[in-house]
Amino acid sequence: MSNQWKAVCSVADIPVLGARVVKRATQPDVAIFRNSEDAVFALLDRCPHRGGPLSQGIVFGERVACPLHNWSIELGSGCAVAPDEGCTQKFSVKVEDGQVYLDVAELNATVDEAA
């Protein structure tokens, strides 16, 4: 991991129990989630099932329910909760003074490099 961080928004910019999307030029977007305890998580905005937009889902606890077929995805790992299977890419995220930072190298990596 690079230790180079990019400020993407403040925690207050993310709706509680919702998400905000960070656009990338050539890669799928990154979804940044905030739960009721103000914990912040970042995942690729693509459900491991059929690519649904996780950023449109509802956060509960440390999971998000995919809006398409209601799979539950663990926000900390990006993995589907059993009996469903599969994981989406997770991103390193850091919160400092209410600012949310993502790892620059992960943001710029192509899907293959990050896998």
Return residues touching ligand FES (CB under 6 A). 47, 49-52, 66, 68-69, 71
Sign of CA dihedral 16, 17, 18, 19: positive
Give whichever of 28 and 51 is closer to ligand FES, judged by the CB atom: 51
Q: Shortest Cβ distance from residue 65 to ligand FES (Å)?
A: 8
CB of 51 to ligand FES, least distance (A): 6
| In the complex, minimum distance from the CB of residue 80 to ligand FES, in angstroms, rounded to a whole number | 8
According to DSSP, residue 11 is labeled G
Closer of 52 and 101 to ligand FES (Cβ) = 52
CA distances from 18 to 1, 34, 66, 102 (A): 27, 6, 12, 18
Nearer to ligand FES, 24 or 50 (CB): 50
CA atoms within 13 A on the CB side of 96: 8
